[in-house]
Structure 1
Amino acid sequence: MNDERNLTGINAIPVGHPHIRSSAPDAGRIAELTTDRTDFKREIGVFGGVSVIGGIMIGSGIFYLGAYVLQRTGMNSGLSLICWIVAGIISLFGGLCYAELGCAMPRAGGSLVYLNEAYHPVVGFMSGFTTFLIGGPGSIAAVAIAMMTVLQSLLGISSDGVKIGAIVLIIGTTVYNLYGVKLASTVQNVSMIAKLVPIVIILAAALFAGSQTPDLSMSSASTYAADNNTSVFGMMALAIVAALWAYEGWTNLNTVTEEMRNPKRNLPLALIIGIGGVTLLYTLFNYAIMRVLPHSTMVSMINSGDVYLGTAVARQVLGSAGAMVISVGMILAMFGSLNGMTLAFPRMYYAMAKEGHFFQSFGRLHPVHRTPTTAILVQCVISCALVLMRNLDQLTNLVVLSSMLFNILVIIAVPILRRKYPHIERPYKVWFYPVSVIIVAAIFIALFIQGAVDDPVNGFAGFIVPAAGAVVYWLFDRRNAREEQING
């Protein structure tokens, strides 16, 4: 363990503080951005990093999104598998952008730090404020509700019981995350392994016991496109959008960079292994479904509104216990996602406070456990409130649209920061730069526009909440200026 929490001067220069900015980068700020010193305990290794990513990414989506991808590709099996792979590649290159930035600037807060330096501290704060009010608590609330919804069908829980159970789950994960990253990371590692067991069992059983030979040719795709007044490219775009929701979560590892051992090596390694592994898992899982269920059966199920193809596979391959196995897998998957988000998000709020434009209590660590206690507790309160105020569908749309705009800005920050800080050591650099950055940024811009058009209410929230964040930043900025005048 590399415990350097007692080193002095760590936070003497708040990253991106406007009152110490100069027209050119100064040595002090560069040193603060690139230092390996930290107040946190470094207890997350490569496997722990992979567990955080995989734990958040592998949720309930693996069990039902395959149906939507199939539907949007005109029920073409080959084209749907290609869309899963392409969505994984897009996520991977987005993750590689985060890896370059995280290795160059290994500070807690992740995207908050990169946005501060690439644009202006107000942009980073708007991102953090949106995550604080919507992205973090909304994601936690959505997963908690989804997990209780699975239990609802098994235990006959009422709708009110689902809400109460979701709140209990949130409080429970909050409590043990207060006791340090080591315990939370251990829980994440265990849940990561535990939830993969039923998925792998079903995957292996389907691949070896399945008797179907799926038609992977794409000849029918052009015919379907012509009959429905669209194009194969348009079909793929819609299908990739659906698949990308299953890959959400790869941005969160950077928020705990200061708690990783040797982040300049382990951060990109964990991102590549995590996102690459999830891409392989998703593709094989959907292929395994096609090995068991006849194409006509999948079409019939999807047309009737039954999107849980994995449950049907488990029931057919494993018998009466199949449905229970898949339900346990879904519960474990969502629990790992819930724990990973409870661990990761408060580190961004901590960075906001250290930057000087948020409540100081959020920037304090527990004297023993070295965790941002206030940030974790407030996140819990907001999450519980959102459970009571919103349903699952509303929460999902709100979270996705509120976060996508800032993901675009972080990806574009890669070339901006290369030019602004050309001499910063970059142990890792994005592959195929700059073409990869341009393509990934363009794809995410298209997704954001489409999502805002399809859901204008939540699209509006995706703009109004960051705008409110700018106002909060201005208020703290005025307070800081007054304090400097008094103390100066």
Structure 2
Amino acid sequence: MGLSSAVALNMLDMIGVGPFITLPLVVVAMHGPQALLGWLLGAVLSVCDGLVVAELGASMPRAGGPYEYLKQIYGPKGLGRMMSFLFIWQLTFSAPLSIASGCIGLAAYAGYLWPNLRGVWLRHNLHLAIPLLGRLEANVVITPGTWLAMGTCAFAVVLLYRRITSIGRLSKWLWGGVLVTVAWVISAGITHFHAAQAFDFPPGAFTPSTSFFTGLGAALLVTAYDYWGYYNICYLAGEVEKPERNVPRAVLISVGLVAVIYLLMNVSVLGVIPWQQLQGQTSENARSSVIAVFMQQIYGGWAGKLATVLILWTAFGSIFSLLLGYSRVPYAAALDGNYFEVFGRLHPRHKFPHVSLLVMGVVAAAFCLLQLADVIAALVVIRILLQFLLQQVGLLILRARHPEMPRPFRMWLYPLPALCAIAGFIYILISRPNFLREIRYAVVLLVAGLALYFFRALRRGEWPWRGAPRAGSA
């Protein structure tokens, strides 16, 4: 695929249902239109980390993305083998969490058209006590919308049973739906814009205080989640034309365009709906339909329904892109002999990693049983601790150890963007009041992955037990 298809896939991943649902959450976190600061800083953080991904992607343009980066940075026959295995292990859970968040959000927005989807059939709290770590908790909620979320995931898997050329064409059609949706929201807001209302900052809006920085951290958590996806094209680098040029371009172009879209969309909404009204919409039903309410307030009920349909299209496009990108990563690791061999199987006719795709789809469907807030919290903590920070530190290590390495793209203002990305992600984590509870998910996943890696390495004669790999099971 060329640059345009790569940018389209990246932006499809980034602009899912998230920003349409989370806009009130950012306003609540910041207590006013200064919520725009959260979106702006989220863009800055994404650009900083995007520069990390762009340099690594241009230097190592192979399918697998971060898997290849971690392996090469930390040593392909030593520590890097374990680090890359752990990346695939966490991705087996975090990727379906990301996919499930889109499916759950889609079903929640569909509740605007069919309110019966929001009726709760079952609500149950699952908990597991773990020695030394404490108790893990998860809230299971089953509604008619749950089945819609799971069905959406299954439908995306069916569509992905295609050749990569067909997928590239389909992604452009899905991207067309995204453009129509955001263009309508922005144009409607601009033509009915009230500047005094959009920038009606409360007293002390930007006064440095504990509550301000805590609120900013909460807002940055949400906006960072909404920007995530700029790295998706790195998973498909092996299928991109001239990856050493097009991968970094796709990353930076998609971040820049999405940042402009998000800022315009949020200013447009704040110029029509008072921020006090958004702050008051704290129920899940109100949060999930804010853009529909926005359109209904401007044009009437028909516009709210049409906006919902377009947002459902956008959400499905994001789910489609996520499944496409993530399914290639365990496949690359399996071919490398560093993950379960079954993930390396290709479809006999269309030659794509169908086992990996099916596993991702099934696990994502299972995660649709959880609440959206729990899914996002687990996803953010796991990704930051077991992927982003490792990549950012790894880039600094790679520059120091291998300055002679060919780098078709070099990070601007090195090492400032990498250091800012590290500081930004750490700030997101420590600013959360439930950080110590949420980090348990990542710790449990890490411990289980380490145990699995060492057991598997012992059977196969791999590092650290022996220097040279030998054939074996699993």
> In which range does the TM-score fall when normalised by the shorter chain?
0.7 to 0.9
Residue 164 (structure 2) aligned to one of 181, 184, 191 = 181
**Equivalent runs, 1:307-326 vs 2, <5 Å:** 307=287, 308-326=289-307
C-alpha deviation, 1:299, in angstroms: 4.8
C-alpha deviation, 1:387, in angstroms: 2.8
Cα distance between partner residues in 2 of 1:148 and 1:297: 24
The more displaced of 439-448 and 342-351 is: 439-448
Tell me which residue corresponds to 1:141. 100
Cα distance between partner residues in 2 of 1:370 and 1:74: 51
Residue 167 (structure 1) aligned to one of 147, 150, 156 = 150
SS at match of 2:408: coil
Residue 239 (structure 1) aligned to one of 200, 219, 223 = 219
- After TM superposition, the score normalised by the length of structure 2 is 0.84
Tell me which residue corresponds to 1:35. none
2:336 is the alignment partner of 1:379: no
Would you say the 8 A contact 1:225–1:231 is kept in 2? no
Tell me which residue corresponds to 2:134. none
Tell me which residue corresponds to 1:100. 55
Cα distance between partner residues in 2 of 1:256 and 1:427: 18
Structure 1 residues 448 and 370, CA, compared in 2 at 3 Å: closer, same or farther?
farther
C-alpha deviation, 1:354, in angstroms: 2.2
SS at match of 2:338: coil
Aligned AA (2:29):
R
**Equivalent runs, 1:150-161 vs 2, <5 Å:** 150-155=109-114, 156-157=116-117, 159-161=142-144
What CA RMSD, in Å, does the superposition of the two structures yield over aligned residues?
Answer: 2.6
Cα distance between partner residues in 2 of 1:176 and 1:246: 24
2:22 is the alignment partner of 1:65: yes
Cα distance between partner residues in 1 of 2:359 and 2:173: 26
Structure 1 residues 450 and 125, CA, compared in 2 at 3 Å: closer, same or farther?
farther
Structure 1 residues 380 and 306, CA, compared in 2 at 3 Å: closer, same or farther?
closer
Tell me which residue corresponds to 1:204. 187
Cα distance between partner residues in 1 of 2:62 and 2:25: 38
Cα distance between partner residues in 1 of 2:213 and 2:368: 38
Aligned AA (1:192):
W
C-alpha deviation, 1:97, in angstroms: 0.6
The more displaced of 468-477 and 260-269 is: 468-477
C-alpha deviation, 1:162, in angstroms: 2.3
Deviation sequence 1:5-64 (CA, Å, 0-9, x none): xxxxxxxxxxxxxxxxxxxxxxxxxxxxxxxxxxxxxxx221211122211111222223
Aligned AA (1:173):
A
Aligned AA (1:138):
L
Deviation sequence 1:300-338 (CA, Å, 0-9, x none): 556999445433321122222121122113211210111
Cα distance between partner residues in 2 of 1:151 and 1:304: 13
The unaligned stretches of length 5 or more in structure 1 are: 1-43
Cα distance between partner residues in 1 of 2:390 and 2:100: 26
2:198 is the alignment partner of 1:193: no
C-alpha deviation, 1:449, in angstroms: 3.4
Q: How many residues align?
A: 436
Cα distance between partner residues in 1 of 2:105 and 2:290: 17
Tell me which residue corresponds to 2:241. 261
C-alpha deviation, 1:280, in angstroms: 0.4
The more displaced of 135-144 and 268-277 is: 135-144
Cα distance between partner residues in 1 of 2:249 and 2:471: 48
Aligned AA (1:122):
M
Deviation sequence 1:171-230 (CA, Å, 0-9, x none): 2211221322223332222112112213211210210232453464868335x758xx63
Aligned AA (1:400):
V
The unaligned stretches of length 5 or more in structure 2 are: 75-79, 120-141, 463-467
Deviation sequence 1:322-361 (CA, Å, 0-9, x none): 2112211321121011101110111110122123122223
2:7 is the alignment partner of 1:50: yes
Would you say the 8 A contact 1:45–1:260 is kept in 2? yes
Structure 1 residues 320 and 359, CA, compared in 2 at 3 Å: closer, same or farther?
same
C-alpha deviation, 1:399, in angstroms: 1.6
Tell me which residue corresponds to 2:196. 213
Structure 1 residues 200 and 241, CA, compared in 2 at 3 Å: closer, same or farther?
same
2:269 is the alignment partner of 1:289: yes
Structure 1 residues 294 and 175, CA, compared in 2 at 3 Å: closer, same or farther?
closer
Would you say the 8 A contact 2:54–2:247 is kept in 1? yes
Deviation sequence 1:443-480 (CA, Å, 0-9, x none): 112223344x5154442111111221222222332232
2:363 is the alignment partner of 1:404: no
The more displaced of 461-470 and 101-110 is: 461-470
Cα distance between partner residues in 2 of 1:460 and 1:186: 41
Deviation sequence 1:75-107 (CA, Å, 0-9, x none): 1x2x32233112111111111110100110011
Residue 85 (structure 2) aligned to one of 101, 125, 131 = 125
Aligned AA (1:118):
I
Would you say the 8 A contact 1:212–1:292 is kept in 2? no
C-alpha deviation, 1:265, in angstroms: 1.1
Residue 70 (structure 2) aligned to one of 98, 104, 115 = 115
Higher helix share: 1
Residue 229 (structure 2) aligned to one of 249, 253, 270 = 249
Tell me which residue corresponds to 2:31. 74
The more displaced of 208-217 and 248-257 is: 208-217
Would you say the 8 A contact 2:220–2:428 is kept in 1? no
Would you say the 8 A contact 1:125–1:470 is kept in 2? no
Cα distance between partner residues in 2 of 1:368 and 1:281: 39
Structure 1 residues 296 and 468, CA, compared in 2 at 3 Å: closer, same or farther?
closer
